[in-house]
């Protein structure tokens, strides 16, 4: 894959324009409630060098959030994919249990926070909430993907005497993998949405959400924005990693992932 | 049609002597609930014989093929290969499907190797056989391409190569050229004959196109509409390479067309059943 310079240059230009507009707006308003980009950079350097008011470093906050997300996300994928495959292949299992499963999908993970506060503390609480956010995108896209497996592809294997396991691993999984990856990207987005909300609900001293809440009480807007930007950046990087995995795995695909 | 022009002077394959036991023996009747699909369809195929089956649409050919390859059990009767009930796990059966059947996530090479891998052949042997068949079907240089990178005709060639890569007891072909344009179709017909002459196989080729059937087959079986049974079993004794413009060819083809027309007339409305 050749790295294309033109889009990179255009994106850098967009960023510069964004920062310039922001700076101009801040200068025009001239209020401490509208900090300029440079102040955000300064707040970032302060946080990076000496940590927050309790001396907890920015990296510990970031890693705490990232770690919780990764644990919950992994749990969501590890349960969502096999369950999606199972219910996709045995449609009657899904048909029989649909009324139990589907309503859960519409309970946002945030709505589970009060229960999670009662039943769990520490990592399990956050992992549980993230899991709820990550499970359904993966489960649903796997379930839908299985329906796309073409009968003729199954027959290709069956005519040669392939076992059910062979059909599953060599026909069904390769067909569904693009859907699973797409579900994982949605799940990753949902996981980030959930982690910040869960951390804002308290019960922890670490995490980007927690850090932002601390500075919110101190009315320190630049530090809050540093937290927001870091959340956006980490989410962006995770998504890019998944995209790279997708491009590597699915070079056989005609469709280009956007 | 310019089919005869580019044919090398290949000898006509000689089917095993008629009185020996056929390689494949079919004697089946099949029904879905009250719907009779096949009524006493009974024929044999000699080893290395090229049999074409033609019939009106709605004669249950897809069902017949599923039964022939052992994926579907007939209501009555059985399909025997070498005297044993046809079983994909025990016999080497290959299938060239009507619709595109290359696996999009595998390269041309891996697609062709699929059957050999399922049959758990040793890797070295797989490499040798795939390399050999790739030369035969003129896909040299395309081994590492993915199906989406090659044309429809090439994809079907991959499917044909996959079917001929295994030492198949029986190769089933379900209108494999129906979606190809006429020149590609004619070229592919010739290629299948070439492959068949190099890698002896027993072939059952289903088609609606009688010209194709007469051009390819050692024999042509004509089926009636549902409930399908055999209307005619016509040996095609024309010398290969065949010239579709010759008087003998045209006469045989006309004979088949008339038989099929009678089936349509007799079948009446039933011929349009699914």
For CA atoms B116, B121, B126, B128, give the dihedral sign.
Answer: negative
Per-residue pLDDT band at B181 (split at 50, 70, 90): confident
Q: How many CB atoms lie within 10 A of CB B135?
A: 12
**pLDDT tops 90 at residue B25:** yes
Q: Cβ of B118 and A162 within 8 Å?
A: yes
pLDDT score of A70: 95
The encoded tokens of residue B252 equal: 């045989």
| Whether the Cβ atoms of residue B95 and residue A159 lie closer than 8 Å to each other | yes
Q: From residue A21, give the alpha-carbon distance in Å to each of A16, A25, A26, A37, B268.
A: 9, 6, 9, 10, 78
pLDDT score of A258: 41
Q: Identify which of B95, B97, B118 has the shortest CB distance to residue A166.
A: B118
The encoded tokens of residue B46 equal: 């000699």
- The label of the residue with tokens 């469709």 reads A255
Q: From residue B209, give the alpha-carbon distance in Å to each of B55, B214, B216.
A: 9, 9, 11
- Which chain B residues are closer than 8 Å to A251 by Cβ? 146
| Whether the Cβ atoms of residue B110 and residue B165 lie closer than 8 Å to each other | no
**pLDDT tops 80 at residue A3:** no
Q: How many CB atoms lie within 10 A of CB A3?
A: 6
Radius of gyration of chain A from its Cα atoms, rounded to whole angstroms: 22
In this structure, of A43-52, A78-87, B13-22, B31-40, the range with the lowest mean pLDDT score is B13-22
pLDDT digits (tens, 9 = 90+) for B124-176: 999 999 999 999 888 999 999 999 999 988 999 999 999 999 989 899 999 99
The alpha-helical segments, DSSP class H, found in B199-269 are 210-216, 247-267
**pLDDT tops 70 at residue A39:** yes
Domain formed by A63-249, architecture: Orthogonal Bundle (1.10)
Residue B85 near chain A (CB below 8 Å): no
Rounded mean pLDDT of chain B? 87
pLDDT digits (tens, 9 = 90+) for B77-107: 999 999 999 999 999 999 999 999 999 999 9
Task: Find the mean pLDDT for residues A139-159.
Answer: 95
| Whether the Cβ atoms of residue A98 and residue A39 lie closer than 8 Å to each other | no
Per-residue pLDDT band at A2 (split at 50, 70, 90): low
| Whether the Cβ atoms of residue B26 and residue B44 lie closer than 8 Å to each other | yes
**pLDDT tops 70 at residue B266:** no
pLDDT digits (tens, 9 = 90+) for B32-54: 988 999 999 999 999 999 999 99
pLDDT digits (tens, 9 = 90+) for A166-204: 999 999 999 999 999 999 999 999 998 888 888 988 778
If DSSP codes are grouped into helix, strand and coil, which group holds residue B136?
helix
Which domains, ranges and CATH numbers included, belong to chain B?
24-91+169-272 (3.40.50.300), 104-167 (no CATH)
Q: Cβ of A155 and B95 within 8 Å?
A: yes
* pLDDT cut 70: percent of chain A above it: 97
pLDDT score of A83: 95
Inter-axis angle of helices B123-136 and B182-198, nearest 10? 130
pLDDT score of A256: 45
Q: How many CB atoms lie within 10 A of CB A90?
A: 12
* pLDDT cut 90: percent of chain B above it: 68
pLDDT score of B193: 94
Q: Identify which of B71, B148, B162 has the shortest CB distance to residue A254.
A: B148
For CA atoms A175, A180, A183, A184, give the dihedral sign.
Answer: negative
- B226 Cβ contact list (under 8 Å, min separation 6): B35, B36, B37, B58, B59, B60, B267, B270, B271, B273
What beta strand segments (E) does B128-265 contain? 170-174, 203-207, 219-223, 230-235
User: Length of chain A, please?
Assistant: 258
Residues in A 138-177 with any Cβ partner in B closer than 8 A: 152-153, 155-162, 166, 171, 174-175, 177
pLDDT digits (tens, 9 = 90+) for B144-154: 999 999 998 89
Q: From residue A88, give the alpha-carbon distance in Å to each of A81, A93, A141, A148, B179.
A: 10, 9, 10, 10, 31
pLDDT digits (tens, 9 = 90+) for B217-265: 999 999 998 889 999 999 999 999 899 999 999 999 999 999 988 877 6
**pLDDT tops 70 at residue B14:** no
- CA–CA min distance B183, chain A (Å): 26
Q: How many Å apart are CA B154 and CA B165, to the nearest integer? A: 16
Per-residue pLDDT band at B59 (split at 50, 70, 90): confident
Write the Ramachandran bin of B15: left for phi over 0, alpha for psi from -120 to 50, otherwise beta: beta
- The label of the residue with tokens 């409630």 reads A33
Q: What is the side-by-side strand order in the sheet with B35-45?
A: B35-45, B24-32, B76-81, B84-85
Residue B120 near chain A (CB below 8 Å): no
């Amino acid at each position: 894959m050749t790295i294309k310079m033109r889009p990179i240059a255009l994106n850098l230009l967009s960023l510069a324009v964004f920062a310039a507009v922001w700076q101009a707006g801040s200068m025009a308003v001239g209020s401490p409630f509208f900090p300029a980009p440079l102040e955000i950079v300064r707040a970032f350097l302060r946080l990076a060098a000496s940590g927050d008011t309790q001396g907890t470093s920015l990296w510990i906050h970031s890693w705490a959030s990232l770690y919780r997300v990764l644990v919950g996300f992994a749990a969501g994928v590890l349960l969502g994919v096999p369950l999606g495959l199972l219910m996709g292949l045995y449609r009657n299992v899904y048909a029989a249990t649909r009324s139990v499963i589907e309503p859960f999908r519409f309970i946002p993970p945030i709505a589970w926070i009060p229960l999670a506060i009662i039943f769990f503390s520490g990592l399990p609480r956050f992992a549980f909430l993230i899991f709820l956010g990550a499970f359904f995108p993966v489960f649903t896209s796997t379930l839908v993907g299985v329906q796309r497996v073409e009968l003729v592809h199954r027959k290709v294997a069956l005519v040669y005497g392939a076992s059910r396991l062979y059909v599953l691993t060599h026909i069904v999984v390769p067909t569904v993998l693009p859907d699973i990856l797409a579900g994982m990207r949605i799940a990753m987005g949902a996981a980030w949405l959930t982690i910040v909300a869960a951390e804002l609900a308290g019960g922890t001293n670490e995490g980007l959400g927690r850090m932002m809440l601390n500075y919110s009480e101190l009315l320190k807007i630049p530090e809050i924005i540093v937290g927001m930007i870091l959340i956006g950046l980490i989410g962006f990087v995770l998504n890019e990693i998944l995209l790279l995995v997708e491009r590597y795995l699915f070079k056989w695909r005609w469709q280009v992932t956007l | 049609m310019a089919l005869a022009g580019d044919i090398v002077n290949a000898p006509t394959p000689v089917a095993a002597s008629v009185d020996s036991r056929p390689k494949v023996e079919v004697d089946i009747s099949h029904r879905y609930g009250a719907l009779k699909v096949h009524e006493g369809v009974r024929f044999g195929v000699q080893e290395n014989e090229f049999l074409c089956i033609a019939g009106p649409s709605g004669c249950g050919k897809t069902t017949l093929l599923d039964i022939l390859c052992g994926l579907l059990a007939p209501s009555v009767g059985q399909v025997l290969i070498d005297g044993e009930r046809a079983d994909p796990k025990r016999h080497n059966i290959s299938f060239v499907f009507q619709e595109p059947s290359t696996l999009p996530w595998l390269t041309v090479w891996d697609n062709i190797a699929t059957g050999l891998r399922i049959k758990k052949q040793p890797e070295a042997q797989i490499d040798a056989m795939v390399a050999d068949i790739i030369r035969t079907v003129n896909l040299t240089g395309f081994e590492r391409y993915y199906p989406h990178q090659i044309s429809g005709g090439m994809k079907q060639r991959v499917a044909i190569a996959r079917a001929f890569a295994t030492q198949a007891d029986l190769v089933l072909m379900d209108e494999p050229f129906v979606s190809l344009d006429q020149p590609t179709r004619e070229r592919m017909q010739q290629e299948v004959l070439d492959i068949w002459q190099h890698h002896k196989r027993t072939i059952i080729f289903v088609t609606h196109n009688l010209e194709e059937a007469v051009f390819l087959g050692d024999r042509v079986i004509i089926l009636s509409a549902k409930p399908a049974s055999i209307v005619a079993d016509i040996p095609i004794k024309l010398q290969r390479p065949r010239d579709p413009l010759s008087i003998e060819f045209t006469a045989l083809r006309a004979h088949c067309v008339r038989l099929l027309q009678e089936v349509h007339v007799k079948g009446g409305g039933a011929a349009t059943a699914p």
